[in-house]
Structure 1
Amino acid sequence: MELMISFALRMLRHRKAGFAGAFVALLCAAALVTACGMLLETGLRGGVAPERYAGAPVIVAGDQYVRQTKESGKEKAKLLSERRWIPASLARDLARVPGVTKVVTEVSFPYAGFTAHGWESAALTPFTLAEGRAPEAADEVVVDARHAGRTIPGHRVVGVTAQALPGQDTIFFTTGEARRLAGRDGLVTAIGVWPGVEVAVEVAVKGAMVYTGDERGAVEFPEAENSRVRLISLGGALGGTSLLVAILVVVGTFALSMQQRRRELALLRAVGALPGQVRRLVGGEALLIGAVAGALGSGAGIALGFWLRSRFVDLGAMPANLRLVVSPFPSIVAVVTTLVVAWVAARVSARRTTRIRPVEALGETALPAAGIPPVRLVAGLLALAGGVVLTIVLAGLNTEAASSPVTMLTALVWTIAVALLGPLVARAVTALPLRAPGVAGYLARKSLRAGTGRLASVIVPLTLMTAMTCTILFVQTTMGHAAQDELGAGVRADHVLGPGASAAAARQVPGVRAVTEVLRTSVRIDLEKYAVQAVTPGGLDRTMDLDVVAGSLDGLGDTSAAISRTAADRLDAGLGDRVGLVLGDGTPAEVRVVAIYARGLGFGDLTLSRGLVAGHVDDPRGTVLVSGGDREALRRASGGAVLDGAGAAEVDSPNAAVTYVAMGLIIAFCAIAVVNTLAMSTLARSRELALLRVVGTTRRQAARMLRAETLTATVVAVALGTAISLVTLAAFSAGMTGSALPYVPSGAYLAVVAAVAALALAATAVPGRFALSCRPADTLAARE
């Protein structure tokens, strides 16, 4: 064993270029796994330090989860989309607890870009006045130090605090005015409690809980909890996809490396090395490379994790005060994973050479194998069958949470099938009557037919990059285009008023025929989340068309609902059925289905009455759809921005940018694999190119030959990658939109193809120029 390790070290020292490609692939894989692990761990264990609640040792607030006990007796919990409020009367009960010295109630709600409160809650931070006085009248406010000197329309600034919180802009009203503006009679957001000694604070109100330490930060920043849930999902999906891509790339890289070393390994077998010894040698080399690449890659992955966090914060998908968890576990997992992947990839790649007899092994170096190994053929056919099954499954999924991971997995399984059956694909390509002009074309045609194994190795990463890039990009465009089409066809309003506009004032504008107030939120039904639009029912048919396929919207009210066709299928609900749901703040409700509509992507899974929902959302302002009326008159009367009716059809997809950033890492990894593979393949042909130069081929002819080969491989790979992505996207679109036609912008697709081709040509041209710049005699005389 020691002899094999020593031999492996010597081989690595003398074949640095041959192992560089495997090292780069493993390093990138370790970095990706580490970064994804950091995101996942932050989602599981990350915490947010309190800011506004920092001055209160104990906070009593609502339970921010909806809970359900399953038949097995196990309780499951899902995060609410809105803040759960608690009775203000609970403060009196807490004040009577022995040992409690002070109790402070607070309300919190958005107001003109601020987080607004009543002045009584200033003690929670605590806030103190730097100048001025506390508000005493309904039109008086106090602003934080960051906004000293600012004017607030409709109010008088009578005080400025000495403090300003880093994560929020704060404004204070009088206690009575704050509760009136919040619109939650008898309810408060939270209660701060100051025990004089260690006191067990208990609450007897359903839905109320006690929070201490960093738990207070989770109550203060409910969006941080949403971000944690998103990070768990994103980290898991991205990590799983990264790992599968890494395995595919690393196996391909090692396969190419072993292919280039067949003569070397065959000579070892010919001089008496046993198959087990050669396998241990190859495995030892892989472990040495994997250990170094894993260690360096995990360090790079930590930096990558911090970069991802900064991008997510910039995109608003993650609050700045959600701390990134840094622990040794992601790095350990990355190193172990890298070692396992490297060892398995090397052993699998060298399997054929180590199992044949020495004389046959030497023959293999002179004459490539006539057929594909049976095991590889069976694995490829199984991968094809897996791709078919996953495609069928994907076509039946109609929720984004379920379809997103299956979409990436489907594209990967199809690509794995191409990788396993690559030699057959390459042989089929070279069997075509390829024609290219001139000496370079003739040489390229002969070279491709003689090196089908090399062609297969080059096709795989190019196919992977094309398939993954197209799938990632066009999943988003397909969903966005479908929702945009539904909104564009369904909005009948002439104008859209932005948040804060007065619907009552808009109704008084001459020429206005109908006004519909719209709120966006979500509800839980059996713990599953459903998107909701809450509307004022009067005149709804004049401002929007939901494409009702059953029932009528005339019966929409506080105890009824319209439901999309997709949601109706998921819930197995029909007209007249009663559906139990939990509103965004945890309040249970039951509604009767009075209509089923087709345009669920654009208008939400459920349409409820605004009267039912408005008192249960953090921000009840929403938008206003107006049919008729003059634009300028509406702007003056409502006090809000006015858009054309088409403006309502603009689909906001904040998660799309996050997905692009996260999955962009996969695309970057695929691009590195392309450069890696093509560079290795080209540099390994130095002797071949030197022989061509010796027999009279010019440097320009040899360079053109390399370009022709690369373009052939690129055309084949782009065709395969496009086919894989189209099959995957068609299944995704069929499940999510009801149409098997995905939306693929021609400009974006051509940009992908151009980027793949440019990358392939550059990855061939640079090492090719280096190989051709050497003197042929020197190259032929050099030792391998």
Structure 2
Amino acid sequence: MRRSRLPRLALANVRQRRGSFAAVFVAVFCAAALTCGLAVLFESGIRGGVTPHRYAGADVVVGAPQALDVREGVDEPFVERALLPDSVVDDLSRMPGVRAAVADRAVPLATDDGALRTAHPWSSTVLAPYTLADGRAPAASDEVVVTGGGTVGDRITLRHGGIGDEYTVVGVVSAPRPEPADRLATVFLSDARIGDLWPHPGGVAAVGLLADDGVDADSLAARARDALPGLDVTTHTGDGRGDVEFLDAGAARSELMALSAAFAGVAILIAMFVVSSTLSLSIQQRRREFALLRATGATPGQVHRLVGTEVLLVAGVAALLGTAPGYALARLLRLQFVDAGVLPTDFALAAGPIPAVVGAVLALVTARIAGAGAARRPARLDPTEALRESAVEQASLGWGRLVTGVVFGVGGIATSLLPMVLPGPAALAGAGGSAMLLVIAVALLGPVLVRGAVRWFGGPLRRSGSPARVLAAANAGTRSRRLASAITPLALAIAIGGVQLFTQDTVSAAADDQSRSGITADLVVTGPAGLSPTLIDGITANDAVRQVNPIARSTALFSTGGENPTTQTYPVQGIDPATTASTLDLDVRGGDLGRLRDGTVALSTDAAFAMSARIGGTVALRLGDGTLVTPEVVATYGRGLGFGDVTLPVASVRAHTTSGLTDMLLVSAHPGRVDEARTAITALGGVAVADRGEFAAAGQEQRRMQSGVNLVVLAVLLGYLAVAVVNTLVLATAERGREFALLRLVGASTRQVRAMMRTESVIVVTVAAVLGTVIAAPPLAGIAVAVSGQPIPTVSPTVYGLLIAGTVLLGLVAIAVPTRTAMRADPVAAIGTRE
């Protein structure tokens, strides 16, 4: 076969076998759309963001770094506002080209109905710039200017940390741009009043620079960095000012990059599996054609080149066309991530040409690699055995495939068992990742597993009095490779769906159990914007209250050393160790929680293992605002999932949070006076009081809301797998037209052929359901051990039933529809069609 004839022969094959190549086209098209959509999200993590509002009039905004620079990885954002020393305001104001340097601070407030507001100093209005539409600037400590929806002269109550103060509206301002609809409303207080409420004296949140006429913003930003030697600062111009104005914007960028990168790894692996499975089935259906080529002198290299050319022709067109839906998919995912709380509602995606190139190239490369793998068997057939091989499906697997499948299976089982011997997040991640290893093992060993399952099914079927069932059992036994191609994507959908869904349920159930068991206080007090020390002192002074334990929440970053450092985020809680005995039980495993004070830390057993920390040693942590501390470890405890892996004194945590307030208060009442304490605290106003059972339920609901991201990812993956399942099953069924025609010509009725296919489809979906469940079981058991110590995951029978039912229904329909279509053809005409 001449090389010059390969493109024409490949094109002729594509035209002749439109059905088979249509399935390949669909698989590559969907892969390109998925990878392009994920590439859009990743690019948006670099170039997307939020349009500035309050800082829209500033030429340059100077702030402290809001993320930890991670070498060769995505930067880890700080969840709290990193501050600048207030001395930078004077330093920047003296710079040439600066007309004014204006400091900004933000204080959270709440109205009596629980609505949140953000208060800023009046001097910062020039940064938008805001202009007075009515009234005047605030001067006294009880005066406020609102941004809309108010009238001069109104009296309103604003609470800071639960303490309410009456304010008089003295002005209404407007900005060149409308107020962001989904952002907290802004109010302005006098600079002196903000100074009283601001919890970080000596620090400012950001500094806006107004440039002199003719001064370029970028050059001014560069000079600002040079004017602050020895101080780590970041400067923002253009849309980048939104990152420093809205703290969640910068965090969302990092989160989007990390999320899309992690999602892309799984998606690309699944895409390669789906494309490879489809190509393998398509080439398997052409075994007589390839056998004839080998028998007439075609070399293995020529077979490989022929298949490669066919793949490039079909996949090239599919990859290019698939990129356009990828942008629509990215917009859809953005909406879902907004609903899940990952992205702010006003976060804008960046849609450049690079994602299309990435999506097309990845899909094309994936298809080419899959085509090379699928072509191996027909290319290496011995010419003298080729025609015999084409007529009868080979019963055994090659040793290489068999050994590889066993290795992946053993590896999957081993990684799922890691939590039984090792604690920490690495073991949990290993257990979760074992599902993919097991799926690959099943894909490689599919014909062997299917043959065993059919042997178990086949006995009763062969002994039945129904010819359709007997024939279905015979077909399934002799065509195990074809059956495995149909079963594997169904099992993959069940396994991935089960692991994703029930992992979150298992973790939530364990966290809920720890929370319920760990809170020994009688009451839990919370406020919309936190609780102030003054309010806490008032509650403590109540006669019915025995002890209170203020709890502050944040996060910390821990980085490992070595050649490949990694950074892990840990939830942090601040507590009062003096009152913990009567309000909180962390299940202390070692050390003494009573020794907790400034400069010390208690760690969960999982965190201590992951950090290689021992009691008496130190750990290096970056707190929520990026401050590096090295506290001594004084205790370890078991309930890290319910309360956080890092526990510090409450004052140490509050000093490094944006609001400087307490998140909740655990209250222990005197015996018999719980109701009295609850009534007295509720009467203070501006707070919510719950018993420990109610609070635990609320915490569980919050964790379920946070699991929305996993559900979004799962929905996309299952959607892609659903297309793959239908694609594979339709292809596998449609190629059997000659078989159906032969059965009808030898006397089988249409109803009997359909009954045979119904029986085969029942075998397919039943084996797939069992395999999918078996694949999901070890990872879920390992995760359950990691979070609860027991190998019993939390599985909702209803959700599991719906997952199985949906997959089974998909399989049945995908087999029934092409069967009915094939049966419409005249059997005499169909028997002469090309195989």
| Same fold by TM-score greater than 0.5 | yes
Matched-pair contact (CA < 8 Å) for 1:398–1:736:
no
How far the C-alpha of 1:318 sits from its partner, in A, is: 1.1
184-193 or 202-211: bigger deviation: 202-211
589-598 or 291-300: bigger deviation: 589-598
How far the C-alpha of 1:481 sits from its partner, in A, is: 1.4
How far the C-alpha of 1:399 sits from its partner, in A, is: 5.3
Q: Secondary structure at the match of 1:594?
A: strand
Question: Partner of 2:667 in structure 1?
Answer: 626
Match for 1:216 among 229, 236, 241? 241
C-alpha change, 1:446 and 1:487, in structure 2 (3 Å) is: same
How far the C-alpha of 1:395 sits from its partner, in A, is: 6.2
How far the C-alpha of 1:659 sits from its partner, in A, is: 1.9
Question: Partner of 2:598 in structure 1?
Answer: 558
Question: Partner of 1:117 in structure 2?
Answer: 120
Q: Secondary structure at the match of 2:636?
A: strand
How far the C-alpha of 1:61 sits from its partner, in A, is: 2.2
Q: Secondary structure at the match of 1:369?
A: coil
| Structure 2 residue 525 is matched with structure 1 residue 497 | yes
**Tell me, which stretches of 5 or more residues in structure 1 are unaligned?**
none
How far the C-alpha of 1:148 sits from its partner, in A, is: 6.4
1:345 and 1:597 map into 2 onto residues whose CA distance is 49
347-356 or 118-127: bigger deviation: 347-356
Matched-pair contact (CA < 8 Å) for 1:52–1:165:
no
Matched-pair contact (CA < 8 Å) for 1:524–1:582:
yes
Matched-pair contact (CA < 8 Å) for 2:102–2:209:
yes
Q: Secondary structure at the match of 1:727?
A: helix
> Letter of the aligned partner of 1:687 in structure 2?
R
C-alpha change, 1:465 and 1:397, in structure 2 (3 Å) is: farther
2:68 and 2:291 map into 1 onto residues whose CA distance is 65
| Structure 2 residue 312 is matched with structure 1 residue 287 | yes
Question: Partner of 1:642 in structure 2?
Answer: 689
Match for 1:383 among 402, 408, 415? 408
| Structure 2 residue 607 is matched with structure 1 residue 567 | yes
Q: Spell out, residue by residue over 1:734-759, the C-alpha distance to the aligned partner (whole angstroms, 9 max, x if none).
A: 44554443322222222221122111
| Structure 2 residue 234 is matched with structure 1 residue 231 | no
Q: Spell out, residue by residue over 1:593-637, the C-alpha distance to the aligned partner (whole angstroms, 9 max, x if none).
A: 332211011111122222222122113241222233324433222
Match for 1:105 among 103, 106, 118? 103
Question: Partner of 2:48 in structure 1?
Answer: 46
How far the C-alpha of 1:538 sits from its partner, in A, is: 4.0
2:151 and 2:819 map into 1 onto residues whose CA distance is 64
Matched-pair contact (CA < 8 Å) for 1:282–1:347:
yes
Question: Partner of 1:522 in structure 2?
Answer: 555
How far the C-alpha of 1:551 sits from its partner, in A, is: 3.0
Q: Spell out, residue by residue over 1:391-423, the C-alpha distance to the aligned partner (whole angstroms, 9 max, x if none).
A: 4567677555x5676556422221111111112
Match for 2:174 among 144, 162, 170? 162
386-395 or 760-769: bigger deviation: 386-395
Match for 1:79 among 77, 80, 95? 77
Q: Secondary structure at the match of 1:326?
A: coil
C-alpha change, 1:130 and 1:419, in structure 2 (3 Å) is: same
Question: Partner of 1:485 in structure 2?
Answer: 513
757-766 or 524-533: bigger deviation: 524-533
Q: Secondary structure at the match of 1:608?
A: strand
1:395 and 1:226 map into 2 onto residues whose CA distance is 34
Instruction: Give the % identical residues.
Output: 39
> Letter of the aligned partner of 1:294 in structure 2?
A
Match for 2:545 among 495, 512, 516? 512
Match for 2:441 among 402, 407, 417? 417
Matched-pair contact (CA < 8 Å) for 2:738–2:832:
no
> Letter of the aligned partner of 1:744 in structure 2?
V
> Letter of the aligned partner of 2:179 in structure 1?
L
Matched-pair contact (CA < 8 Å) for 1:514–1:540:
no
Question: Partner of 1:473 in structure 2?
Answer: 501
> Letter of the aligned partner of 1:413 in structure 2?
L
Matched-pair contact (CA < 8 Å) for 1:505–1:638:
no
How far the C-alpha of 1:289 sits from its partner, in A, is: 0.9
How far the C-alpha of 1:548 sits from its partner, in A, is: 1.3
How far the C-alpha of 1:447 sits from its partner, in A, is: 1.6
How far the C-alpha of 1:114 sits from its partner, in A, is: 1.9
Matched residue count: 779
Q: Secondary structure at the match of 1:155?
A: strand
Matched-pair contact (CA < 8 Å) for 1:119–1:135:
yes
Matched-pair contact (CA < 8 Å) for 2:74–2:257:
no
Matched-pair contact (CA < 8 Å) for 2:143–2:170:
yes
Matched-pair contact (CA < 8 Å) for 1:237–1:405:
no
Q: Spell out, residue by residue over 1:343-400, the C-alpha distance to the aligned partner (whole angstroms, 9 max, x if none).
A: 2323322322233244522212222223212332233234334434544567677555
771-780 or 32-41: bigger deviation: 771-780
1:276 and 1:99 map into 2 onto residues whose CA distance is 69
Matched-pair contact (CA < 8 Å) for 2:504–2:707:
yes
1:398 and 1:293 map into 2 onto residues whose CA distance is 45
| Structure 2 residue 791 is matched with structure 1 residue 777 | no
Question: Partner of 2:211 in structure 1?
Answer: 195
How far the C-alpha of 1:125 sits from its partner, in A, is: 0.7
467-476 or 355-364: bigger deviation: 355-364
How far the C-alpha of 1:461 sits from its partner, in A, is: 0.8
Q: Spell out, residue by residue over 1:542-573, the C-alpha distance to the aligned partner (whole angstroms, 9 max, x if none).
A: 22211112233333333433221222222333
Question: Partner of 2:266 in structure 1?
Answer: 241
Q: Spell out, residue by residue over 1:509-552, the C-alpha distance to the aligned partner (whole angstroms, 9 max, x if none).
A: 45333322211101234464321111233432222211112233
Question: Partner of 1:673 in structure 2?
Answer: 724
Matched-pair contact (CA < 8 Å) for 1:505–1:637:
no
2:526 and 2:570 map into 1 onto residues whose CA distance is 24
Q: TM-score scaled to structure 2, two decimals? A: 0.88
Question: Partner of 2:562 in structure 1?
Answer: none
How far the C-alpha of 1:584 sits from its partner, in A, is: 1.6
Q: Secondary structure at the match of 2:347?
A: coil
Q: Spell out, residue by residue over 1:25-67, the C-alpha distance to the aligned partner (whole angstroms, 9 max, x if none).
A: 1111111111111222222343444221121112222232456
Matched-pair contact (CA < 8 Å) for 2:417–2:431:
no
Q: Secondary structure at the match of 2:460?
A: coil
1:176 and 1:721 map into 2 onto residues whose CA distance is 64
> Letter of the aligned partner of 2:604 in structure 1?
S
2:374 and 2:98 map into 1 onto residues whose CA distance is 70
Question: Partner of 2:161 in structure 1?
Answer: none
C-alpha change, 1:287 and 1:209, in structure 2 (3 Å) is: closer
1:435 and 1:510 map into 2 onto residues whose CA distance is 77
Q: Secondary structure at the match of 2:108?
A: strand
2:50 and 2:414 map into 1 onto residues whose CA distance is 43
Question: Partner of 1:173 in structure 2?
Answer: 189
Question: Partner of 2:64 in structure 1?
Answer: 62
Matched-pair contact (CA < 8 Å) for 1:397–1:736:
no
> Letter of the aligned partner of 1:493 in structure 2?
A
Matched-pair contact (CA < 8 Å) for 2:573–2:653:
no
Q: Spell out, residue by residue over 1:657-693, the C-alpha distance to the aligned partner (whole angstroms, 9 max, x if none).
A: 1122123222222221111111111111122222223
Matched-pair contact (CA < 8 Å) for 2:424–2:610:
no
Match for 1:91 among 89, 92, 115? 89
499-508 or 669-678: bigger deviation: 499-508
Matched-pair contact (CA < 8 Å) for 2:76–2:254:
no
**Superposed counterparts of 1:444-463, under 5 Å:** 444-463=472-491
> Letter of the aligned partner of 1:233 in structure 2?
A
Q: CA RMSD in A?
A: 2.7
> Letter of the aligned partner of 1:512 in structure 2?
V
Q: Secondary structure at the match of 1:141?
A: strand
1:353 and 1:90 map into 2 onto residues whose CA distance is 72
**Superposed counterparts of 1:350-369, under 5 Å:** 350-369=375-394
2:37 and 2:94 map into 1 onto residues whose CA distance is 50
635-644 or 478-487: bigger deviation: 635-644
Match for 1:690 among 733, 736, 741? 741
Q: TM-score scaled to structure 1, two decimals? A: 0.93
Matched-pair contact (CA < 8 Å) for 1:512–1:626:
yes
2:73 and 2:731 map into 1 onto residues whose CA distance is 54
